[in-house]
């Protein structure tokens, strides 16, 4: 095989926001980089929910990894499923697309940026009943369910059943849950308003359930208030201080803080709560309740200065051993990715890298048309200014001019026509 060399070998696991930055910042370094991902594309995670609502198409928020690095001859992309590590022998084990299991990929430096997934709090049977919007496949399944619910209501003669088809429930009121619930509100009130003849889509009921006592608990309370009012304007009822206790194909049971139970008939339930780290984190050391492995101030795992972990799979500790709370956001992973590349270059030159330090860029969430909240640079913004900020930040961080243009066109048409062009029902119900 060509390309065998004595150069320092860096293996990066995961082509998300963190992993991508590591590779980008190493592409001119005297190292050989292997980027391993299960998917052949980088996915712009913060907009996946817009695929679920038909506002965007999958291809518009995904960029093929090989295309990003095709001009960097020291970067190799390997499509495969990392199944584990041998930290002593410095090996990664990968299942490959031709069916081979456990291919050994050796490294000198390892960066693990495997990301997170949704936890169903021990209720894995809910996964099927209430899909999340993490992967493109799931987003398309949610899109199918959302749109089919309106279709089923249109031809349903029984009033109660029709009402259940027109009831939508989102679990979790972080940014993804809030944005999703807001978009369902817009679909019912604007996009589909004139599409049906038998039903009034504006009669749809939309609930967002949150265990905390306010929506967007990551934001300052004043912005949570703005967000809740914006949601209400779109017909979304916020059920804060409520917990999901049961889900079946027809309904969801909730408990409030007093322990009182209530069952809401709803045929469409979407999950956006309880983030846990990728199971790969547990292969790097002891993990906390959220499945995250501890790393030091230089993001390395205990006893292995050649192994860096970052992003949603880690809990960072400072030099005194205290945990540094960091949000599970793209900017954190991206800054850690750039730091990881710098740290590897420093170590190659015999230098000790300084500690990782997070620069808080703030927090953004959009609720709907000209409705958003932003907590940036000490400013708490809501409404149109926050919304425009949200739009430009997201367009800016999308990979590639083509995707930026395509998304910009989709958003412009949605804004002008209140439509959602990609509202296709695809895939099968089986």
**Which listed residue (60, 141, 179, 186) is catalytic?**
179
Q: Are strands 167-171 and 116-118 parallel, antiparallel or unpaired?
A: unpaired
What is the nearest approach in angstroms of its own copies to the Cβ of residue 277?
Answer: 23
Q: How far is the CB of 372 from its own copies (least distance, A)?
A: 23
CB closer to its own copies out of 56 and 373: 56
Of 105, 76, 100, nearest to 89 by C-alpha is: 105
The smaller minimum CB distance to its own copies, of residues 66 and 361, is found at 66
Q: Give the CA distances from residue 379 to residues 77, 179, 240, 364, 376, in Å, rounded to whole numbers and listed in that order.
A: 41, 21, 25, 11, 5
CB atoms < 10 A from the CB of 158, how many? 9
Q: Is 179 a catalytic residue?
A: yes
Mark residues 129-158: x for contact with its own copies by CB under 8 A, - for none.
-------xx---------xx--xxxxxx--
The answer for residues whose C-beta is within 8 angstroms of residue 306's C-beta and 6 or more apart is 90, 107, 108, 109, 110, 300, 347
| Contact call for residues 410 and 422 (beta carbons, < 8 A) | yes
Least Cβ distance, residue 144 to its own copies (angstroms): 10
Give the tokens for residue 267: 């045929």
Q: Which range touches its own copies (CB under 8 A), out of 17-25, 193-201, 217-225, 252-260?
A: 193-201
Spatial neighbors of 327 by CB under 8 A, at least 6 apart, are 218, 363
We find the least distance from the C-beta atom of residue 230 to its own copies, in angstroms, to be 26
CA-wise closest residue to 76 among 164, 18, 11: 11
Rank residues 29 and 406 by Cβ distance to its own copies and give the closer one: 406
Q: Mask of contacts with its own copies, 366-405, x by CB under 8 A?
A: ----------------------------------xxxx-x
Least distance (Å) between residue 82 CB and its own copies: 14
Q: CA angle, 71 as apex, 11 and 8 as ends, to 5°?
A: 30
Pick 103 or 304: Cβ nearer its own copies: 103
Of 96 and 385, the one with the shorter C-beta distance to its own copies is 96
**203 contacts its own copies (rule: CB under 8 A):** no
Write the interaction track for its own copies spanning residues 86-125; mark x where CB under 8 A is met and - where it is not.
----------xxxxx--x----------------------
Q: Interface with its own copies by CB under 8 A: which range of 77-85, 111-119, 242-250, 306-314?
A: 77-85
The answer to whether 288 contacts its own copies (rule: CB under 8 A) is no
Angle at 365 between CA 291 and CA 122, to 5 degrees: 30
Query: Is there binding between residue 196 and its own copies (CB under 8 A)?
Result: yes
Q: How far is the CB of 14 from its own copies (least distance, A)?
A: 16
Answer yes or no whether residue 423 interacts with its own copies by CB under 8 A: yes
User: Looking only at residues 158 through 177 of this chain, which bind its own copies when binding is defined by CB under 8 A?
Assistant: 161, 165
1 binds its own copies (CB under 8 A): yes
Of positions 9, 27, 64, 302, contacts its own copies by CB under 8 A: 64
Q: Specify the residue, 194 or 359, whose C-beta has the smaller distance to its own copies.
A: 194
Residue number with CB closer to its own copies (97 or 327): 97
- Show the tokens assigned to 387: 């919304």
Least CB distance from residue 347 to its own copies, whole Å? 25
Quote the Cα angle for 165-171-172, to 5°: 150
Residue number, 301 or 398, with CB nearest to its own copies? 398
With CB under 8 A as the rule, give the number of residues binding its own copies.
Answer: 67
Q: Give residues 2-31 in contact with its own copies (rule: CB under 8 A).
A: 2-3
Residues noted as catalytic:
179
- Report the interface residues with its own copies, using CB under 8 A: 1-3, 39-41, 54, 56-60, 62-64, 66-67, 70-71, 73, 76-80, 96-100, 103, 136-137, 147-148, 151-156, 161, 165, 192, 194-198, 400-403, 405-406, 409-410, 413, 419, 421-428
């Amino acid at each position: 095989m060509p390309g065998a060399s004595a150069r320092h070998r860096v293996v990066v696991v995961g082509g998300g926001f963190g992993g991508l930055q590591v590779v980008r910042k190493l592409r001119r370094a005297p190292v050989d980089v292997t980027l391993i991902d299960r998917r052949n594309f980088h996915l712009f995670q913060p907009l996946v929910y817009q695929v679920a609502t038909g506002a965007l198409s999958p291809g518009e928020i995904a960029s093929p990894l090989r295309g990003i690095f095709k001009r960097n001859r020291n970067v190799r992309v390997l499509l495969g499923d990392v199944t584990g590590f041998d930290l002593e022998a410095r090996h990664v084990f990968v299942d490959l697309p031709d069916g081979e299991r456990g291919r050994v990929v050796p490294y000198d430096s390892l960066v693990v940026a495997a990301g997170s997934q949704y936890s169903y709090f021990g209720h894995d049977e809910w996964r099927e009943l209430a899909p999340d919007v993490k992967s493109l496949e799931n987003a398309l399944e949610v899109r199918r369910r959302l749109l089919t619910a309106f279709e089923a209501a249109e031809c349903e003669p029984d009033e109660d059943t029709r009402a259940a088809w027109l009831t939508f429930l989102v679990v979790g009121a972080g940014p993804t849950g809030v944005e999703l619930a807001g978009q369902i509100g817009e679909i019912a009130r604007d996009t589909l308003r004139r599409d049906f003849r038998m039903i009034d889509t504006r009669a749809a009921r939309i609930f967002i359930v949150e265990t905390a006592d306010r929506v967007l608990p990551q934001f300052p309370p004043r912005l949570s208030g703005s967000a809740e009012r914006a949601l209400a304007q779109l017909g979304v009822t916020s059920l804060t201080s409520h917990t999901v206790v049961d889900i079946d194909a027809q309904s969801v049971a909730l408990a409030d803080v007093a322990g009182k139970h209530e069952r809401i008939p709803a045929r469409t339930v979407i999950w956006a709560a309880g983030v846990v780290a990728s199971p790969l984190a547990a292969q790097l050391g002891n993990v906390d309740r959220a499945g995250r492995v501890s790393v030091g101030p230089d993001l390395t795992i205990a006893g292995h200065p050649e192994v860096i972990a970052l992003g949603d799979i880690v809990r960072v500790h400072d030099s005194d051993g205290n945990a540094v709370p960091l949000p599970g956001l793209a900017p954190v992973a991206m800054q850690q990715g750039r730091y990881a590349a710098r740290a590897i270059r420093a170590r190659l030159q015999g230098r000790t890298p300084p500690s990782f330090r997070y620069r808080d860029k703030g927090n953004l969430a959009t609720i709907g048309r000209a409705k958003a909240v932003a907590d940036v640079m000490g400013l708490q913004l809501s409404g149109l200014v926050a919304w425009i900020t949200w739009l430009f930040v997201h367009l800016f961080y999308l990979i590639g001019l083509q995707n930026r243009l395509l998304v910009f066109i989709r958003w412009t048409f949605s804004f002008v026509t209140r439509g959602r062009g990609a509202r296709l029902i695809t895939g099968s119900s089986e």
